[in-house]
Amino acid sequence: MEMPKETFFNLPEEKRQRVIDAAIDEFSQRSFHDARITAIVDAAGIAKGSFYQYFEDKKDLFKYIIGLAAEKKIEYVNRDIMGRIQDCTFFQLLRELYLSGIRFAKENPRLLAIGMQLLNNPELYYEVIGEHRDTTNEFYEKLLEKAMADQELDPKIDTKVASRLLAGLSYSMVDLIYEDGKLDFDDMVFVDKLLYIVENGMKRKP
């Protein structure tokens, strides 16, 4: 993840937070290309020249905000799931992971709006998400390897391929149920139907 310059972290916490909040407001209301540095600095109460003392450019700030959103989402996972890994089956954990992601989306609508706009910009999406993808893939791969060791899964499954599939579902989860500016689906019903497909496959059983 690209980082702000050291001068940004040397700011008082209250001033840093003003910049972060102003950026989240602007990026949640406008696409990355339409977002205005002028609006951000005005809302944050800083001079435009100061902005470039803190960040290289608008993309640097945007990536920083996406990184903060990723960290916050990890907090949800740690709170909801990490203490239960040893006690749950693989599919129970997967269900809770996806539900945790939906809870994050519902409770952080501005960050959700930024993420949804990111999905509409494939070039920027792959540039930004790519910086977090390896960590996500490794997390799912470890869960898969544990499930393999516990004999929960088909030993023929390639864990690298499966980890990328599951990570991709986690990234697109909200997009699959987000309609007309709101989460328009019973999240538990949706996750259970999705996991039925993941667990049982699509091929008709004899």
> Which tens digit of pLDDT belongs to each residue from 166-205?
988 887 776 666 655 555 556 788 888 889 999 999 999 8
Tell me yes or no: is domain 6-200 CATH 1.10.357.10: yes
Whole-number Å distance between alpha carbons of 161 and 30: 35
Contact 27, 62 (CB under 8 A): yes
Q: What pLDDT digit, counting tens, does each position of 62-100 carry?
A: 999 998 998 898 888 888 777 777 788 999 989 988 888
What does pTM read for this prediction?
A: 0.83
Whole-number Å distance between alpha carbons of 69 and 27: 12
Contact 98, 170 (CB under 8 A): yes
Residue 134 has pLDDT above 60, yes or no: yes
